Structure 1
Amino acid sequence: MHYPTSLKSFTLAALTLLSATTATVAQAQGKPIRLIVPYAAGGPIDVTARALAERVRDTLGTVIIENRPGAGGNIGADAVAKAAPDGLTIGIAATATHAVNPWLYARMPYNAATDFAPITQMVRVPNVLVMNAEVAQRLKIDKLSDLIAYAKANPAKLNYGSGGNGSAGHLAGELFKKEAGIFAVHIPYNGGNPAQLALLSAQVDFNFDNLATAAPNIRSGKLKAIAVTTLKGVSALPGTPPVADTLKGFAIDTWWGLVAPAATPKDVLARLNQAFVAALNAPETKTRFATLLAEPAPSTPEEFGAFMTSERTKYESLVKASGARVD
């Protein structure tokens, strides 16, 4: 039987619309959304994901957190990339998984630029340059210019620690050395906590640490905050200037957000964006995130996609300059 061309066009359009709204219908029928966190439970990324999952319950229904740690976040991110693009599986994209790892790992299971559809940025957390307070006092280092001057007057005497080769702390340190024109030996540790313990015991001279991690020891007086890595000052550390005040344009902080598999329909992405942006803008969310020294950073999908692209470009040169590589 032959159908008129207009009927064929109508049928094709109807099938396309049906496919595009499958996820919306499924969610309306009560199917839960799976939110994959590519890191272990209990950390700041996991805590913020769980907080948002609770806040979108009324609009999106049940959101189940699934922790899939391993390989610097690559295992969990790959699970998102290869999930069905039906809006029922979303995940966290972070500095490591979507900006650093593509240049750090010799082999990647996913393409950070093409395998994901951005939903919204969630959070930005400042990093902070910290020193052991007693060491800073002994070396008469009170501000960033003092540290740079000491390093130039005492070549190769300073060292700094990080959570490992290619970590955010390592790359921040390499950028600092380059922009300041100084040299300091990098000492990698197996994770951020061992690196902080090394700083507290004066085994290393300075670290670039996540503010949320460093804050308790800054408040107790064990660590001295020299400068934050955001372009502007941070309300949680009043009086601590940005590195950018001394080294123009210096900016390197931690961020994460929400993504879906690349082929997820745009109307589904829009619905997810609307729900999660509303949750991020809620006063309760801002209060909860403030305890983690994390600032909500809601955005449109287009804004988050452009931001991740710019971050990949920035970290490409940083990773290559650092010489870090994971085979």
Structure 2
Amino acid sequence: MTPGINAPRRSLLATLLGLCALCACALPEFAHAQAAGFPSRPITIVVPYPPGGTTDVLARTLQEPMQRFLGQPVIVENKPGAAAVLGAKFVANAPGDGYTLLFPNNGLVISPQISKEANYDALKDFAPVSLVSLQPMILTTNPVVPATNVRELIAHAKAHPGKLEYATAGPASFGHLATELFSQQAGIQMVHVPYKGQAPTTQAILTGESKVLLSTTSSQMNAFIKEGKVRMLGVASKKASPLAPGAAPIAETLPGFEAEVWFGLVAPKGTPPPVIAKLNDAVVKALALPEVQQKFEIAGAAATGSTPAEFARRIADEYGTWTAVIRDAKIEGK
């Protein structure tokens, strides 16, 4: 008998505790019941970028096969704005029922650290569903740079500190962060030259206005490399990539170096694990289709699925990596 509590209060307390226990037992059953009937209506995938870009193309490539495996319409909706922050916030505030999803890239973990408008937590406000694709960065130089591999580039940069320009698609862009990570690990100093988008950076490396460029692969860049107009020194994936034929991993010279653009699918926090599992199953099955893999390769990306836990680890690891780069390089956003 609990001291100081009379019989009626003990009875009420016992009833409340019993109800709490019943609720706790019922929660897993409720989640499984949700999954059993999921999906029962259309699912919306929010792309936080304008139509036509790589993120949009990959999301729409998955649209039809996911519909087939889930048995419900899948709608791709573009919500661009504020460097992808608008779409991310929309999904972060959506119900955690699996019917509103976000198709982000690395910006999911970078934007909150450089944008005043991004008042969401990349680690807490989303439930990872699956990695969808990896797009390796390649390290290229204008041929006037006397280096044919990563080691020679680092030696040249050390011999001429602050004399080598590198191009990016803008301050705080992924290319900017990736090149700063490369510089930090290599112990070199290069001059950042920001441009307005990817196309001007390609032109800059072709003309020699900038000498170094770490950017994603593309059919256009591969053609310039083949023609000898641009020299490829390495690929920023852990292993050699078929999307960058003949390129040795930068990690062979700088152990642990990795900078790949990823694309994935996340749901709002609180989405029941059984619902996440159903979505993950549909994504992984879609990515295994040869026609999907072919369309991804044309877009310069490799179809790469994962478990929710694996994707969660990648997001957490990158959060730590880019937090350190942004801090150490004193990179500021808007």
Calculate the TM-score normalised by the size of structure 1: 0.89
- Cα distance in 2 for residues equivalent to 1:177 and 1:240: 19
Are 1:72 and 2:95 an aligned pair? no
Task: From 192, 196, 199, give the equivalent of 1:193.
Answer: 199
Task: From 33, 39, 45, give the equivalent of 1:27.
Answer: 39
Which has the higher mean CA deviation after the structures are superposed, 16-25 or 79-88? 16-25
Change beyond 3 A, Cα 1:12–1:166 = closer
Partner of residue 306, structure 2: 299
- Cα distance in 2 for residues equivalent to 1:215 and 1:207: 13
Deviation at 1:194, TM superposition (A): 2.1
Pairs within 5 Å for 1:225-244: 225-244=232-251
Give the root-mean-square deviation of aligned CA atoms: 2.5
Secondary structure at the aligned position of 1:299 is classed as coil
Secondary structure at the aligned position of 1:27 is classed as coil
Deviations 1:172-197 (A, max 9, x none): 21122222222110011122222222
Partner of residue 151, structure 1: 157
User: Which amino acid is the alignment partner of residue 241 of structure 2?
Assistant: V
Secondary structure at the aligned position of 2:75 is classed as strand
Partner of residue 47, structure 2: 37
- Cα distance in 1 for residues equivalent to 2:190 and 2:124: 37
Pairs within 5 Å for 1:97-112: 97=108, 99-112=109-122
Are 1:320 and 2:320 an aligned pair? no
Change beyond 3 A, Cα 1:139–1:298 = closer
Q: How many residue pairs were aligned?
A: 318
Deviation at 1:56, TM superposition (A): 1.2
Deviation at 1:65, TM superposition (A): 0.6
Task: From 161, 165, 184, give the equivalent of 2:167.
Answer: 161
Deviation at 1:200, TM superposition (A): 2.1
Contact persistence 1:156–1:183 (CA under 8 A)? yes
- Cα distance in 1 for residues equivalent to 2:293 and 2:87: 26
Partner of residue 62, structure 2: 52
Larger radius of gyration: 2
Deviation at 1:145, TM superposition (A): 2.2
Deviation at 1:41, TM superposition (A): 1.2
Task: From 257, 279, 283, give the equivalent of 1:276.
Answer: 283
Gapped regions of structure 2 (runs ≥ 5): 1-14
Contact persistence 1:23–1:87 (CA under 8 A)? no
Are 1:113 and 2:123 an aligned pair? yes
Are 1:222 and 2:234 an aligned pair? no
- Cα distance in 1 for residues equivalent to 2:248 and 2:74: 39
User: Which amino acid is the alignment partner of residue 133 of structure 2?
Assistant: V
Identity of aligned residues (%): 36
Deviations 1:113-151 (A, max 9, x none): 11101111111110001123xxx1x34322222222222
User: Which amino acid is the alignment partner of residue 222 of structure 2?
Assistant: A
Calculate the TM-score normalised by the size of structure 2: 0.87
Change beyond 3 A, Cα 1:288–1:8 = same
